[in-house]
Chain A
C-alpha cells in the first residue's frame, strides 16, 4: 500500500477554499512549485487544497479598459490567448521563458505570483505593465498594486485566509512597446541570473515617450521598478546618449548579490544591457 504523504482536497468553490484554509490546508493550482517544496520539506502543511479547476479562478476577459486573467489560468493558455497576445506581447515573451513546455502546461500565473520568487519571470513585466492583484478572502475583497505585492524572498502581501483571484492589467491605449530580456545559464529551462522588462508608452507623435516603465528581476530580494531611470525618459525621444544614460541608471538602481548563478558585477551590468538592448530594438 502506498502511504499517504499528506491530506488532499479538491475545492469546488470559495466555501470549500475558506473552510479548508482554516484547517491549515495549503491552496495550490498548478503545483509546479508547491509540490516540490512540500516533497522536499521546505513547506510544511497538514494538507493540500487543489483550487486549479475552480471556475471563479478561471477565464481571460476584457472589461473596462483592462484585461482580467484568472489566477488558475495555465501559462500555455495565456500564451495562446488572442486578447493577451494583441495587448501584452511583452507578457507573452516573458511567460514563454518560464520553465519548460511541460511546466507551462501545468503552471498558473496566479501560482507564479503567489510563489513570489525573486527570479520569477512574470513579475518584472507585469510590474512594468502596472498590473493589479485581486485578492479574496472569506469576508473581504481587495485590489493591490503588483509592485506592492512582493515583500521579500517568497514573501507576499497575502494575509492568512487570502488567495489571489485574478490579475488586472490596464490596456495601454496609445502606441507602445513592450519587451522582456532574460539572462540565464542556457536559453531554456533555466532560472534567470537577472532580467529587464520595459514598457514605453508614446505620445501621439509615436516617438516621444509619454511614460516609461522599467522593472528588473533577480537583482534584490524582489523584482523592482527603476523609478529614477523611468523619470529620465519621461517626455524624451530616445537617442544613443539617452539610452546610455538610462542603462547606467538601471544598473545603478539594482542591488544584486553574488550567488551560484552569477556575480553581483555581472548582474548589475546586465540589467542595464537588457535595457539598452530593448531600447535599441524599439526604434
Chain B
C-alpha cells in the first residue's frame, strides 16, 4: 500500500512544542487572577473514622480566613468523580464533604483563606473529633464477614446495574461467558491454574492536580482546570453543586500530563462550590504528597487463571478471574475490571470456551482510577506468563504460537459482544492486524530464537555464574475508544485569508492531539498545518467530546475532524466552481488553491473566503460534525526483552527492549513513537521499582519522589521501536488506530518471561524488586 499523504504520516512539529519549551504556553497555575484565594484540604489521619464534631471557631477568627467547608455546611449530593459518559458505570458513593473519612489522606474539610500560609495555620486550629473505626486494609478479605464495610451510608447508589453491593464491600461485579469452560477443561489434556498480584502505582504526571475558579462579568462560574474530561467535569460539577450547566464554563489550558489521573472531577466540585458561594477567585492545587494519596491511583489486582489445553498447545478453555482493590471509592471500578477481560481475551480469539469473572472490592486505602493500560496492564501479567507456560510445556516457540493463534484481519471475538462498559458490548470485525509482521520484525531485531536457546536455564553450563541472562516475549492489544459510548465533535470555519479555525472538544493533555488533529484537517483541506488554528476543550467555545481517555482521541476525534473538514472542502469547491464558472466536479484543491482540473486557472482560498463573506454569497464557510465510534480497533504490539539478573543482589537489569507496534497509519510518526516509548518507560518503572508502601494503619509511607522512585532517562535500556508498515485501518481517519496505552502492558510479563528463561522460576508479584528476586532465587 502506498500512501501519498502530504501532512498526515509526517512528523510535523508539535504545534505547542516551542511555547511549552519557552514557558509561554500556560498551565492552570500560570493564569494570573488577582486576589485569588487558596483552598487547603485537611487530610484524614485515620483510615476509617466517623467525624463526630468539628470546631472551626478559632480558625474563623483568624485574619485572612474566609471560610471552612465541611459536611456541616455543604449540601450532601452523592456522585461519582469518574469522568465518564452519563450514565456513569460507577457507584455514586461520594459527596463533596462527608461525615465519614475512608482512607488516610481523605478530605475532612477545606479551609479557604487569602493565602496558603494562613490556610495551613487555620487547619491547625480546627479541632476535629473522630469515632475511629476498624479499617478494611486487605482487599482479599474485604468480603469476609468480620471485615468492616467501607460504605454503610444509605444514599450511596448505582444509577445503572453494575452489581453495586456495599453490604458485601463490592463496588461492582462483572461476568462474561463464551461457550462452557467446564466442558472445555474435560476436553483438555492438561488443566492448570495460577495466581498473580499487581501493586498500587501512581501516574506521576509532572503537573499536580490543579483547579482555579472565578466568577466572570456576567455572573457565571469559570473553571480553569487540569482535566482530561472538560465536558464530563461540567456535568459532574453541576450535579454535585446544583449550579446549572448554563452557569458553568470549563476551560482546559495546557496540561502537564494526565495518563488517566485527570479523567476525574476531583477538585472541581470543591472549587466550584467555594467560588459560587463566595463569588471570589479561588484555587486548589495539590502538593505532591497529596497527589499520591488523594488523587487517583492504579488499582491493585489479584488475577487468577485456570486454563485447559492440549499437547499441541491448543487452548480449549480459559477462566480469567480478576479481583480489584478499588480503594475507598468505586471510581472506574467496573470498567477497569472489565478491561482485564475485554482487552486481553480477544487476542487469541480461537479459544472456544471462555469465562471472565471480575469483582471490585472496597478497602480503606487510596482510591483507584483510570491509568494508562486500564486493567489490561494488570491482567496481562497473568495471561502472558500463562501463554509462556503453555509454550514451554508443549515445546512450542512463543513467537510461532502467537502467530498461529492471534486474531487476524476479518476475524472477530465473542468477547467484544460479551463485555461492554456497564452494558453489553458490540460485535465488530478486525479491519487491520499486522501482529504477525510485528512479531517477525521484533524477533529479528533482538535475535529471539538463538538467544532464547542460548540463555535458557536448561542448558546453563556454569550454574555458579553471578550474572545470568534471559530473554522473554509477549503480544498485547488494547482498543481505540469505546464503541457506541464515546462521541467526539468538531467545528470548523474559514477565515478571509484562507486559514481555518478548528474548534475541538478533544483534550490535548500533552499527548500532541491538537497537532495530530490539525494534521488530519490540513490533509483533507489541502492546506498547510500553519493554516489550521486550533482551540480545544473550552465548554463555551468548542462542541462536545468525551475527552482524552480509552485511547480514543486520534481515532474518534480524528474521524470527526476528517468528516467536518470534508464538509468544508465541499463548500469550498461549490464556491470555487461558481467563481471559476465550471462544475463542482471540475474543481481540484491543491496547496490552498482551487484549480480547474487540467488547467492553470485557479483562485486562492483567501479569494474564495473573502468573496464568500464580503462580496458574493455573503455567508460564513463553516461546518460541524459529530461522530460516535462504531468499533474499537485494537492496536497490537509484540514485545521482546533481554535481561541480566545479578544473582547475588537480586537486581534485574533490562539490557535491551524491542517493541514492534501496529497502530495503523501513524498520523505523526514521531509523536506515535513517543507514545510507544513513553508507555514502555512507564511500564518498566512499574514492573521493577514502583509500589506504595503502607503502614499497618493504612498510611502511605512513600508519598513523595524522595521515596517513591520512577525511572528516569538514565535508567533506560537500549530501546528499539519498530512501527508496523502497511497497516491501514479502514474505519479510522487516514488508516489510524490508537497508540497511547498498548505498550504499557508489556514490561511486567515480558520481564517475568525472561526471568523464567534465565532461571526456570516464575514471578507472581510485581514489582520485581531485588528483595523479592533474591527470595525467589533462594527457593
Contact = CB atoms under 8 A, between A and B. Distances in A.
B715 A186 contact: yes
B707 A186 contact: no
A40 B770 CA distance: 31
Contacts of A8: none
Interface string B230-273: 00000000000000000000000000000000000000000000
B702 interface: yes
A270 interface: yes
Contacts, number: 39
Given A186-B689, A260-B707, A273 B715 contact: no
Interface string A126-164: 000000000000000000000000000000000000000
Contact of B714 (A187, A191, A265): A187
Interface in A260-281: 260-263, 265-266, 269-270, 273, 276-277
A263 B769 CA distance: 11
Contact of B712 (A3, A188, A273): A188
A19 interface: no
A266 B706 contact: no
B701 interface: yes
B720 interface: no
Nearest to A183: B649
A239 interface: no
A27 B774 CA distance: 44
Nearest to A276: B648
A186 B711 contact: yes
B709 interface: yes
Contacts of B712: 186, 188-189
B693 interface: yes
B771 interface: yes
- Chain B facing A: main interface SS: loop
B774 A187 contact: no
A191 B706 contact: yes
A166 B693 CA distance: 40
A282 interface: no
A266 B769 CA distance: 11
Given A185-B689, A266-B774, A273-B649, A260 B715 contact: no
Interface in B85-138: 117
A188 B701 contact: no
Contacts of A189: 712, 714
A183 B769 CA distance: 12
B707 A187 contact: no
Nearest to A185: B709
B712 to A, nearest CB: 6
Contacts of A273: 648-649
A46 interface: no
Contacts of A187: 714-715
B715 A266 contact: no
A190 interface: yes
A186 B774 CA distance: 17
Nearest to B650: A266
Interface string B484-513: 000000000000000000000000000000
A261 B689 contact: no
Contacts of B770: 183, 266
A43 B54 CA distance: 30
A269 B693 CA distance: 22
A260 B701 contact: yes
Nearest to B706: A191
Interface string A163-207: 000000000000000000001011111110000000000000000
B702 A269 contact: no
22 contacts: A183-B649, A183-B770, A186-B689, A186-B709, A186-B715, A188-B715, A189-B712, A189-B714, A190-B709, A191-B706, A191-B707, A260-B693, A260-B701, A260-B702, A260-B707, A261-B707, A263-B771, A265-B771, A266-B650, A266-B770, A266-B774, A276-B648
Shortest Cβ-Cβ A-B pairs, 8 listed? A266-B771, A188-B714, A185-B709, A260-B701, A260-B693, A260-B702, A186-B715, A273-B648
Given A185-B689, A261-B707, 4 more contacts: A188-B712, A190-B709, A260-B693, A269-B774
